[in-house]
Amino acid sequence: MPAETTLVMIKPDGVKRGLCGEILSRFERTGLKIAGVKLLILSRELAAEHYGEHSGKHFFDSLLDYVTSGPTLVLALEGPNAIAVVRKLMGSTRPEDAATGTIRGDFALNVDKNLIHGSEHDFDAKREIPRFFTNSELIRWDWNGEDKDAA
Ligand code: GTP
Ligand code: MG
């Protein structure tokens, strides 16, 4: 099966609370591999572009305040079904609806501080990854050869 790459962000509340290791270990345990990683504070412009589909909604300004409020850990994660696997482990957008055992279900209380972003669809992943990573900042794993045995 061809591998996918998805974009994940541990939002500022997750970084401030020291949850990066806990969250990343949940992804790594599935066999997903880190293809890219960087810590940065999103500019308002970049955040507005990233969440452009929500422009005009009542929570848009507070969403931008939130995601620009401190450092964010941005990850490109690679593996078979990476997009769906990450979304499943994240849990529902609203933590009160997120199942126990998911990241949002276990560590979040409110939709306005829901810890983590993951690309929703292949189309989103393909435009989100270049927003944060150049090609030379990404590692490509060999899913048909030796690397698949580690997954
Ligand atoms: P992302 O992976 O961050 O895109 O979350 P999602 O795909 O699960 O949800 P969605 O794209 O619908 O919403 C994007 C983000 O906007 C959410 O993760 C929340 O941080 C925020 N958000 C969504 N709905 C609300 C809301 O009703 N109120 C507030 N304050 N924030 C919201
Ligand atoms: Mg979304």
Q: Ligand 2 mean position to 116 CA, how many Å? A: 10
Q: Is the CB of 45 under 6 A from ligand 1?
A: no
145 against 63, higher pLDDT: 63
Domain 3-137: CATH superfamily is Nucleoside diphosphate kinase-like domain (3.30.70.141)
Q: Ligand 1 mean position to 146 CA, how many Å? A: 38
Number of H helices, E strands in the chain: 7, 4
pTM of the model: 0.95
User: What are the extents of the domains in the chain?
Assistant: 3-137
Q: Are 108 and 95 in contact (CB under 8 A)?
A: yes
C-alpha distances out from residue 48 to 6, 54, 67, 116, Å: 19, 9, 10, 16
Q: Is the CB of 93 under 6 A from ligand 1?
A: yes
Residue nearest to atom 10 of ligand 1 (CA): 93
Provide the pLDDT confidence category of residue 145 given band limits of 50, 70 and 90. confident
